[in-house]
Amino acid sequence: MKPSFQSNEEAVTHVQELFLKHIDEIRGFIRAFARNRPLADDVLQETFLTITAKADSFEPGTKFPQWARAIARFKILELSRRDTGRLSFLTEEAIEVLAGENEQPEWDENFEPLEECVEELPASMRKMIDLRYQAGRKPAAIAEQVGWKVEAVYVCLSRARNVLKDCIEGKTTKKA
């Protein structure tokens, strides 16, 4: 039997404590998609508010970071639908794949341009993309592994996503 909360206040306190414990991981996930720090902080705040509002739906004993990232992913997707110019987005499907919510995505012809574009990236960008999205490493761990500053990793990932976006748009426009 899974533990449960005695009250809503207890649930709220618990998820807020977990949020603070995992804030760097959640922020890093959001920063992987946001172009600038203030925007990432806005999405982080919205994620915190949603997590607080949905505290009763969190099941104690389950993995909080995955639950929080799922909520953050929905906040990112909401923002992408409202204001695509402020975020570094591919397509909703590509976001889902890059967000790692699908264990083994089924690559069909819609993702062929993504695979091709990743192969065309400069070696340093491809390495960052592989470490972040294939190996699932956090930017801080990547920075330590490659001997860069964390900010440099964020910049490289952001630039790589922009290059991928432009490349995919170019390849899909040619096919149309």
CATH of domain 90-176: 1.10.10.10
> Model confidence over 100-115: pLDDT tens digits?
544 444 444 455 777 7
Predicted pLDDT at 18: 94
Question: Which CATH entry fits the domain spanning 1-89: 3.40.50.2000, 1.10.10.10, 1.10.1740.10, 3.20.20.140?
Answer: 1.10.1740.10
Instruction: Give the whole-angstrom CA distance, residue 48 versus residue 71.
Output: 9
What is the residue extent of each domain of the chain?
Answer: 1-89, 90-176
Helix-strand-coil percent breakdown of the chain, rounded to 5?
Answer: 70, 0, 25
pLDDT band at 2 (very low <50, low <70, confident <90, very high): very low
Give the burial class of 90: count Cβ atoms within 10 A of its Cβ; 0-12 exposed, 13-18 middle, 19 or more buried.
Answer: buried
The neighbour count for residue 143, using CB atoms within 10 Å, is: 20
> Model confidence over 85-103: pLDDT tens digits?
555 445 556 566 666 544 4
Would you say residue 70 has pLDDT above 70?
yes
The neighbour count for residue 132, using CB atoms within 10 Å, is: 23
